[in-house]
Amino acid sequence: MVLPAIDARIPSATAASSSNAHAPPPAGSIAWTACPTNGGLQCGSVVVPLDYGHLTGSTISLAVTRKPAADPAHRMGVLLFNPGGPGESGNQILPVVLGLLPPAVVSRFDIVSFDPRGTGASDPLQCGTSPSAVTSGLPVPSRPGHALPGTSVFTAMAQACTERHPHLTASLTSDTTARDMDRIRAALGVKQISYLGLSYGTVLGTVYADLFPHRLRAMVLDGGVDVNASLATQAADQAPAAERSLRHYLASCAGAPRCPLGADPTATFTSLRHQLEAHPLPAPGNGDDHPVTVGDLDTATLLALSAPAFTPSYPTALLDALHGDGTPLRQLALELDEDISGAPLVDASWAITCNDFASHLTPRAAGAEARSLAARYPLIGGYAVTYNLGGCVTWPKSPDALTHLYPVHAPPVLLIGNVGDPNTPLVGSRHLATDFNAATLVTWDGWGHTWLLNGSSDRCMVDVVDGYLIHQQLPKPGTQCR
């Protein structure tokens, strides 16, 4: 579910966070100042309870960023945005997103984003887990009956987070973050918001719609995740989608005039995979002492399939690895597990994911599932287990897991699903649509993770999104944009 970090390396446009402010500000009291990066962005903060069961206890300060409507005379309200992850900084990615959103939406809405609790500049959860230790973990056990290879890293992560930051770790749930979103709405001084969520952001949107349906004017969910599907089901759905996307990528390269991967890109990829399985490459050094493995190959590949326009160096990284230099491959892999600023995402991402789901596979069950998926989808399918649920194999059972979420009182919702999404496959959007009482699914016939990151200039999709957000007109059921 992680939204790939876009390698824009934009300095953080957020205010400093504080975890022990004395009381939440009243609604409408955000003190906006020009962000350090400027660009017309305004920065502020909203104080929220650490635990909504104890409203007078400790608090967290959430970093918030706003881009005021370009046409204030025709302003229609607030569009709250979340980029997914979980764990992504909404504030860091906002400047990129502003260039992708339909111009009419940027003109008519205040675009507001935020760093969810435990991420970015909102008291980030840092338990010491090395991103390269995660990317270098082997995705598939070498023998039947063995545990998922990354289990030791994930066990250490779970122990470190629960021992070092027990209260913050326990508070990182989608339910709590959705309540934080409503505190942001109140602090903005508006009765209703519109919302746009990508990937994991569709989970947050679904939870918000369930908790606060009367606070929603409109909601766009792009790259849907069915919150009622188990992590194991999500892995089983993602494996064939990633495999299909990779085969399409390699076939497209083969059909190009000058494919850097040679006449048979699939053979090149398979050769590198076997080479890394047999002989991992030396660690890059400079503080990174983890050898470059097939885990890095899978991680970097999913990033490239999810956002190909932002990863033009992927073919070169494959060739460098074939010739013994794994550093470029490791650098790409880390972009999936680090924020735009370079800060690690792994601790917060897994805390949120594992706290949200009641059912966690055991290390051996996860290993068996990885072997099963790898047998059926040999290019990249086995990685789906590590990617979707690896961090949860020894995570403590959560008392606040999401269960049976059906936001029947929400206003009509617009869902967008990609035919070729390798990360959140179209089947997830289809299932999510049935969770709502009123939802229209629009299919974008394209490749990559989410429409917004990969097809924002598509005129058909722009018209659909403009018509819904600005005029509150849903397209006809079954609409497909090619």
> Mean pLDDT, the chain, as a whole number?
93
pLDDT at 112: 98
Burial class for 68, CB neighbours closer than 10 Å (0-12, 13-18, 19+): middle
Report, as an integer, the average pLDDT of 71-81. 97
pLDDT surpassing 60 at residue 22: no
Reported pTM: 0.94
Residue 436 CA to chain centroid, in angstroms? 21
pLDDT tens, residue by residue, 398-451: 888 998 999 999 999 999 999 999 999 999 999 999 999 999 999 999 999 999
CB 449 within 8 A of CB 421: yes
pLDDT at 400: 87
CB 414 within 8 A of CB 220: yes
Residue 34 CA to chain centroid, in angstroms? 27
Report, as an integer, the average pLDDT of 252-279. 96
Q: Dig out the tokens for 78 from the structure.
A: 């607030």
pLDDT surpassing 60 at residue 13: no
pLDDT at 6: 53
All residues at 6 or more sequence positions from 481 whose CB lies less than 8 Å from its CB, including other chains: 442, 443, 444, 445, 455, 458, 460, 461, 464
pLDDT surpassing 50 at residue 231: yes
All residues at 6 or more sequence positions from 254 whose CB lies less than 8 Å from its CB, including other chains: 261, 263, 264, 265, 266
Residue found under tokens 């960023």? 65
pLDDT at 37: 80
pLDDT tens, residue by residue, 100-113: 999 999 999 999 99
**Calpha distance 246→250 (Å, rounded):** 6
Going along the chain from its start, the domains and CATH numbers come out as 33-126+167-228+403-481 (3.40.50.1820), 132-155+242-392 (no CATH)
pLDDT at 14: 37
